[in-house]
A and B are shown apart, each in its own frame.
Chain A
Amino acid sequence: MIHAHDSAIVRTMSRLLIPLIQLFALYVLCFGQYGPGGGFVGGVMLGTSLILGILVFGPESPACLVAKKVTHGDGIGLIIFAGVGGLCLIGGGEFMNYSNLEIPWVDTESHRRYLGILLTQIGVAVDIAVTAISIVFSLSLIDASEESHD
């Protein structure tokens, strides 16, 4: 259903925009604690950059192959988020109580909670990005599985 766009203007502008969108998404993700932004928006923007590649360059292009490899990571974001909670259990406290995270160079309780927030934001961003790409693959009826070796 989706085929590669035939206008050179659209293809060139997309080649320029995709890395810019990814850079801005990483900025918004890392500065979520000092300004608006955070995990949700950063994740959706990361997914959007690859969706732009799929829609403009078609199902056989390198952008689409990268996106198919990325969808293998479905669920890694949830493991990261729950894993941070598990690390807090290992450190001696309750589940998701970041003040018990045992990381070597981080001493004060407020710095441990800051680090806990940053790690969980990365987990949420990865989860949302992969889910957005996966839903676009499902809705556009592209076959996203690899060939099975018989």
Chain B
Amino acid sequence: MIEHIEAALHRPNFIAFVVLFLWGFFIMITHPNLVKKLIGMYLVQTSIIFLLVTVGAKKEATVPILQGSDATGSATHQIDPADYTNPLPQVLTLTAIVVQVATLGVSLALVTAIYQKYGSLDEDEILKRIE
């Protein structure tokens, strides 16, 4: 039991991810307001991207841009990969962020179209007006 709590405390990024993900998910399911659900969706997406980036972090490593004597391109100089943060999760993340904002744009267009037709942002009101 104690070692489970200690393992969780050594990974504060995972605790932050779980809290943000589940709270955003709760908002998406329970709130009746449409735009509030989209705020919950935004929190869920950013929490996942946050976990991806923090998995690739390394202690005492710098940005993944080759600097100083590593950037001269000489054939004899060896580049040490432990000096630089892992670039692969960052590549996934760049794509994910831009797709996130595209999804947000389409969802907000749907909300605007619903508002123009039914006149309300509250889902119980909209269900009443459909009948």
Contact = CB atoms under 8 A, between A and B. Distances in A.
A35 B65 contact: yes
A104 interface: no
A38 to B, nearest CB: 8
Contacts of B100: none
A117 to B, nearest CB: 13
A117 B94 CA distance: 16
A36 B65 contact: yes
A128 B94 CA distance: 13
Nearest to B94: A40
Contact of A138 (B94, B98, B109): B109
Query: Which of B65, B94, B98 is most buried by chain A, counting CB atoms within 10 A of its CB?
Result: B98
Contacts, number: 16
Interface string B94-107: 10001000100100
B105 A135 contact: yes
A150 B18 CA distance: 59
A139 B112 contact: yes
Given A35-B65, A36-B65, A128 B109 contact: no
A9 B52 CA distance: 43
B108 interface: yes
Nearest to B116: A141
A141 B94 CA distance: 30
A17 to B, nearest CB: 22
Interface string A35-53: 1100010000000000000
A79 to B, nearest CB: 19
Contact of B108 (A35, A139, A141): A139
Given A35-B65, A36-B65, A139 B105 contact: yes
A109 to B, nearest CB: 14
A40 B109 contact: no
A13 to B, nearest CB: 26
A139 B109 contact: yes
Interface of A: 34-36, 40, 128, 131, 135, 138-139, 141
Give 3 closest A-B pairs by Cβ, nearest first. Answer: A135-B105, A40-B98, A138-B109
